[in-house]
Amino acid sequence: MNLIVAADSKWGIGKNGGLLADLPTDMKYFREHTEGKAVVMGRKTLESLPGRKGLPKRVNYVLTTNPDFKAERCIAVHSEDELWDALSRYEPDDVWLIGGASLFNWFYSMCERLYVTKIDADLDADTFIENFDEDPDFEIISESEPVTENGITYRFRVYQRKAD
Ligand SMILES: NC(=O)c1ccc[n+]([C@@H]2O[C@H](COP(=O)([O-])OP(=O)(O)OC[C@H]3O[C@@H](n4cnc5c(N)ncnc54)[C@H](OP(=O)(O)O)[C@@H]3O)[C@@H](O)[C@H]2O)c1
């Protein structure tokens, strides 16, 4: 499993239940990496998507404790055991963890690579993830040139789990 997230300078990822910024090139990057794959998200992230529907061209798994949860294009999973069971049919590189903070913080250490769109600004977030730079198990293996959109500069960075 890999993870994909956009995080600001303080590792903020969301505000008022939504994203921090409108970054079209980042959205394209997200689509290119996740289309045709399985994506895993928490119920609150699903609620933030347009129309409260799963993402098109992807198999959408939504974690929720609500046994009655239903949403278009989504497969509900109700526990970690149920999630790992559902994901066992995929190759690890075909599964993407896409948020939100609760899932990132619980599961990032199980990911092989962390695709972080690192925003060079404090966007006044209310939802944060761990600082991956402080995790000795991961190292940066690539970083793009800066991209500036809507007055915000960011880079596409990839962290890889270190070999044992
Ligand atoms: N910047 C980015 O790349 C990015 C990406 C994704 C999301 N976000 C942002 O992150 C924020 C949402 O993050 P969040 O942490 O508040 O919510 P979240 O992780 O999206 O969803 C939390 C919900 O997931 C369910 N859940 C989590 N762990 C579970 C488990 N072990 N078993 C069963 N259900 C479980 C629960 O749903 P129930 O309450 O239904 O039980 C929980 O309330 C939003 O602002 C969103 O825009 C940012």
Helix residue spans in the chain (DSSP H): 24-34, 43-48, 80-87, 101-107
Closest CA to 16 of 124, 129, 106: 124
Nearest ligand 1 atom to the CA of 45 is: 20
* 96-118 per-position pLDDT tens digit: 999 999 999 999 999 999 999 99
Which structure tokens are listed for 45? 């992230």
- In this predicted structure, the answer to whether residue 143 has a pLDDT above a threshold of 90 is yes
User: How far is the centre of ligand 1, averaged over its atoms, from the C-alpha of 145 (Å)?
Assistant: 30
* Residue to probe by mutation, ligand 1, list 3, 13, 40, 129, most atoms within 8 Å of CB: 13
Does any ligand 1 atom lie closer than 6 A to the CB of residue 103?
Answer: yes
Section 73-81 average pLDDT: 97
Which structure tokens are listed for 125? 């977030």
Closest CA to 61 of 69, 51, 4: 69
Question: Which CATH fold topology does 2-161 show?
Answer: Dihydrofolate Reductase, subunit A (3.40.430)
User: How far is the centre of ligand 1, averaged over its atoms, from the C-alpha of 45 (Å)?
Assistant: 5
Section 55-59 average pLDDT: 98
CB burial class (10 A; 0-12, 13-18, 19+) of residue 91? Answer: exposed
The radius of gyration of the chain's CA atoms, rounded to the nearest angstrom, is 15
Q: How far apart are CA 10 and CA 14, in angstroms?
A: 11
Name the pLDDT band for 79 (thresholds 50, 70, 90): very high
Q: Where are the domains of the chain?
A: 2-161
* 13-48 per-position pLDDT tens digit: 999 999 999 999 999 999 999 999 999 999 999 999
